[in-house]
Amino acid sequence: VRIVSGLQSSGSLHLGNWFGAVRQLVRLQDSGEAFDFVADLHALTTVRDGQRARALTFETAAGLLALGIDPARTALFRQSDVPEVLELYWILGTVVPLSHLERAHAYKDKLARGLAKGFGLFAYPVLMAADILLYGADLVPVGKDQIQHVEFARDWATRFNVAHVPGYDPQDPLGAAGHPPGILRLPEFRVDPDTAVLPGIDGQKMSRSYGNAIELFADEREVRRRIQSIKTDSTPVEAGKPVEGSALYELLRAVAPASEFAAIDRSWREGGIGYGAYKEELAGFFFAAFGEARRRYVGIAADPAEVERILQAGARRAREAAAQTIAAVRRAVGL
Ligand code: ADP
Ligand code: TRP
């Protein structure tokens, strides 16, 4: 199986990225052929400073390596190093119904958060579908917020195949029953049910663009400061705490080892421990879980030439996979 996923370099990697997507990518490295990339083209929808864009791309790549993406098993590359993706993006766009883009959740959320309506944000899912389809993904590990985008990719691949592969039957996409197979392979999303959506310190979905993230590689004081500012209610120390809608509870559930969480869950419901103490515990679990990756990060970030070498080697592998798809697509549409 082909496994494909991207991480936007619009900010630094955070706990939501790890629990939603990156942990799956690390675990799946031996289950197939993996193509993971830093979505630097997507990041341009929000980053407007070239120097910062370049720095964030590098940081994201270094972070993925520190977290356990192994370049020997995974092609790790920069999205923009495979220009074929932009060609597929345009061609695919010709079969995309405008109504799909208008009902895209991520787009609507971004507008609700005050981002200006713009072509880049609007067209975002088409570029993401091109990412997925270019490498012939079978499986796309993502957080829950991205499910709709993967479903769009499936739908548009079908539309493309119907339009451009004579005899293609959407009921028989691989051609197992004798029809010609599609040019674009239909992907499936994969979500980790334990942490489909991790809340940020304000209780909303953790996201770099919402300023509510706990960053994996921020300095220790900043991490502690962020954890201290997790929003809690006014339940007194002695009382049992509400579980529903508590960001602190959800974060503890994600970060604490399962064996330790059982006791936390019990005391949380019984009362007797204050939110401040739980935050201290969370900080402890955070550094226990990510201390090693944080140390690795320092070493990796100190050797930018090596990171660059890894990204370029990854791009060469990705371009090989891309070349086959794009050649078939060009032929089919008459270019
Ligand atoms: P952000 O939303 O912070 O900009 P990205 O959009 O680059 O992060 O997300 C990269 C991956 O991490 C995607 O698969 C996304 O679904 C996942 N992800 C991001 N935030 C969360 C979250 N709060 N909970 C679960 N998964 C998340
Ligand atoms: N849109 C994804 C996000 O914001 C990042 C992304 C870009 C992606 N291209 C992708 C994820 C292809 C999976 C597959 O989280």
Ligand 1 contacts CB of residue 173 (under 6 A): no
For residue 99, pLDDT beyond 90 = yes
Residues 6+ away with beta carbon under 8 Å from 220: 287
pLDDT band at 208 (very low <50, low <70, confident <90, very high): confident
For the segment 113-140, the average pLDDT, to the nearest whole number, is 96
Ligand 1 contacts CB of residue 10 (under 6 A): yes
- Average pLDDT of the chain is 97
User: Could you report the per-residue pLDDT of 158-176, keeping only the tens digit for each?
Assistant: 999 999 999 999 999 999 9
User: Could you report the per-residue pLDDT of 21-76, keeping only the tens digit for each?
Assistant: 999 999 999 999 999 999 999 999 999 999 999 999 999 999 999 999 999 999 99
How many Å apart are CA 144 and CA 124, to the nearest integer? 17
Distance between alpha carbon 241 and the CA centroid of its chain, in Å? 32
User: Could you report the per-residue pLDDT of 284-306, keeping only the tens digit for each?
Assistant: 999 999 999 999 999 999 999 99
Contact 180, 166 (CB under 8 A): yes
At residue 167, the pLDDT reads: 97
Phi, psi of 117 (to 5 degrees): -60, 125
Say which ligand is closest to the CA of 135: 2
Helices (H), 9-138: 15-17, 23-27, 40-43, 50-67, 84-93, 98-102, 105-112, 119-134
Q: Which residues line ligand 2 (CB under 6 A)?
A: 4-6, 8, 39, 42, 128, 131-132, 140, 142, 146
Q: Which residue has the tokens 């339009």?
A: 163
pLDDT band at 315 (very low <50, low <70, confident <90, very high): very high
Q: Which of 109, 145, 253 to probe ligand 1 with, by most ligand atoms within 8 A of CB?
A: 145
Phi, psi of 37 (to 5 degrees): -140, 160
- Using the mean position of ligand 2's atoms as its centre, give its distance from the Cα of residue 264 in Å: 34
Of all protein residues, the one whose alpha carbon is nearest to atom 18 of ligand 1 is 17
**What is the CB neighbour count within 10 angstroms for residue 330?**
14
Ligand 1 contacts CB of residue 6 (under 6 A): no
For the segment 80-97, the average pLDDT, to the nearest whole number, is 98
What is the chain's alpha carbon radius of gyration, rounded to the nearest angstrom?
21
User: Could you report the per-residue pLDDT of 209-254, keeping only the tens digit for each?
Assistant: 789 999 999 999 999 999 999 999 999 999 999 999 999 999 999 9
Ligand 1 contacts CB of residue 95 (under 6 A): no
In ligand 2, which atom is closest to the CA atom of 8?
A: 5
Contact 46, 209 (CB under 8 A): yes
Torsion sign across C-alpha atoms 319, 322, 328, 333:
negative
In ligand 1, which atom is closest to the CA atom of 199?
A: 23
